[in-house]
Structure 1
Amino acid sequence: MRFAFLSILAIITLAMATTQAKKNIIVSYPDETPDSVVEQAKQAIIDAGGLITHEYKLIKGFAAQSPAKVLESVQTMGQQYNAVIEEDQMVSIN
């Protein structure tokens, strides 16, 4: 009985830890930014449990669903190249 209770408690704790709130973001860089910096940022998001949803061709950047905790490190990685991270949201004209 005790083993079953501890197992259920462990599963619940693991589920809560892996279901962090993810933000839809757009990350963009100036054109002179090396591709390695962009790839490093994408890999950091994937390693943190995020998902790259789109890679842009006209601008250097990508869209992703990312845990909030990794955004600060992605911002720091691109600091020399002025990485812009913004929340992806619907824009309309009224």
Structure 2
Amino acid sequence: MAGKSFIVTLKESAPDAQVAQFKRSINELGGAITHEFSLIKGYTVKLPEELHINKLKEGFNPIIANVEEDKEVHTQN
């Protein structure tokens, strides 16, 4: 699947039912969860190019703590 990857962190207070709904919605929108973090409510998600991350944010804004594009970072130039 072509698309972009994002790291999405949910609020620790997010109820399990809403977390499950968030995870289902990723698949329903044509995306995929490629990694689930174990210490936090966080996921690496891949979304189709035509689906902007704002679509996901709109529906789950109350439980999303942070969203950032998953990309390579460097500590030195």
Q: Under a length normalisation based on structure 2, what TM-score does the superposition of the two structures give?
A: 0.77
More strand by share: 2
Distance 1:32 1:56, change over 3 A: same
RMSD between aligned residues: 2.0
Unaligned runs of 5+ in 1: 1-18
**Computing the radius of gyration over CA atoms, which structure comes out larger, 1 or 2?**
1
Q: Under a length normalisation based on structure 1, what TM-score does the superposition of the two structures give?
A: 0.65
Q: Quick one: higher RCO (CA 8 Å, sep 6+), 1 or 2?
A: 2
The equivalent of 2:22 in structure 1 is 41
Match of 2:62 among 80, 85, 90: 80
Runs of 4+ in 1 over 3 A off after TM superposition: none
Identity percentage of aligned residues: 35
The equivalent of 2:11 in structure 1 is 30
Unaligned runs of 5+ in 2: none
Within 1, Cα distance between the matches of 2:11 and 2:51? 24
